[in-house]
Chains A and B, each alone.
Chain A
């Protein structure tokens, strides 16, 4: 097979975008930083950094209930961020967006507030073999508490979900299908449309882990038709410690609170407490106000570039990266999915992933090595770890070339 090794042209808007991220101008070990660890966390544009500074310099106050101006402004900014997220995901209503600390907490919230009261002993939760630990462990804990059963849809040797098997595992006992949209470890894009359609036919609730898709492609939760979608802010150019979930209002209305505390009650008496409507019911205590505001600014930033532009460019860049790594001596790509987004995992015969990571770091190239919080997936491929390069829209073909050149240094040392 002749691979296309022509580097994709970077659109002008993305060439300029690189300069909006101050950290991309720094050096690492005396070399310019080549940041290819975006699946772990993306970098932040200056506008997001400035928004946090501005919030603490000019607007800081606790939200809701305050009568003074600062509190009113902070409340408005926090709620405006929720509205932006609702628009970004095309949720039917902004009350369908709950702020959490990130995708992990979102999954735990859904486990506690939605599924635990519903599931009976012997009933099932269906996940896939390529899930992140964040979409495995909360369900294992729930299964232990309730007598529920965790079932795992298989994947093939290329890292594609075995769709027919997955669909056939949905039955009368299935209460929830929780599937990753894009694999953080090997970049597989899953056919969530078919999964959601089958689940809906059978009255099964659906949760889509969008932690690795929301920053790479347009998402519309209404056209997807899922019941829940979860995501993390720091993987989409926003601050750490903030993220959220989308949940259908009809389900949120019936769900019990996640944590108890201030801001989630309508009134409290010692003989009983009444809870607020969604989304407040699920946001006990003072939230990460600055984080939510920063995340809202990150969404503005993404929209200013255009999600279609990002998606189209990144698909060319990831294809270029795959082709360059394929033609790289001694490198074996782990997983060859039909549809890929964001990430490529690879191993080398001569060097362990950690040795690759260390050598690349001395060249200024930041990648991730290890099991990527996907131990069952690693076991499926019979390996304990991979080296993973993952892109964002500010990366370009020079970054991929730097990665490939650095791998030559690994070969020089380890053969």
Chain B
């Protein structure tokens, strides 16, 4: 896959990184996990308010690049209000999709496709997956 800057930095991604949603700490979150990308030092913290099987609220704080920030914004938007199991499946599927260069198993119309530009930039894949990995860690607690 050719390294394509336009494909990496799609408008929706730039927009989400400039104006991220859910960029705050949930007071009294009952699940919380911080994850660091050792390669670059970026840090993301995911906060969850979980009630039974349902994720009532999801948010994040981060010191990170545009891709990571946009990804965290998309993650928290997507999983808030959903049940834990489907959020866990989604995280697994997205991480697998982004790490497989030729895979197109992910729904073509899914808004998370905005992250797929990283597949051509090996060193940036982790930027997109970091918030999702932090979520996996938080929900497993």
A residues contacting B by CB (< 8 A) are 29, 351-355, 358-359, 361-362, 369-371, 375, 378, 384-385, 413-414
Contact = CB atoms under 8 A, between A and B. Distances in A.
Contacts of A369: 40
Interface of B: 3, 5, 8-9, 14, 39-43, 63-67, 121, 123-124, 127
Contacts of B65: 352-355
Contacts of A358: 5, 8, 121, 123-124
Nearest to A351: B66
Contacts of B42: 354, 384-385
A82 B113 CA distance: 56
Given A362-B3, A362-B5, A414-B66, A354 B14 contact: no
B64 A352 contact: yes
30 contacts: A29-B3, A351-B66, A352-B66, A353-B65, A354-B40, A354-B42, A354-B65, A354-B124, A354-B127, A355-B9, A355-B65, A355-B67, A358-B123, A358-B124, A359-B5, A362-B3, A369-B40, A370-B39, A370-B40, A370-B41, A371-B40, A375-B41, A378-B41, A384-B41, A384-B43, A385-B40, A385-B41, A413-B5, A413-B9, A414-B14
Contacts of B127: 354
Main secondary structure of the interface of A (DSSP, over half): helix
Contacts of A413: 5, 9, 14
A193 to B, nearest CB: 33
Contacts of A375: 41
B17 to A, nearest CB: 9
A369 B66 CA distance: 14
Contacts of B9: 355, 413
A106 to B, nearest CB: 24
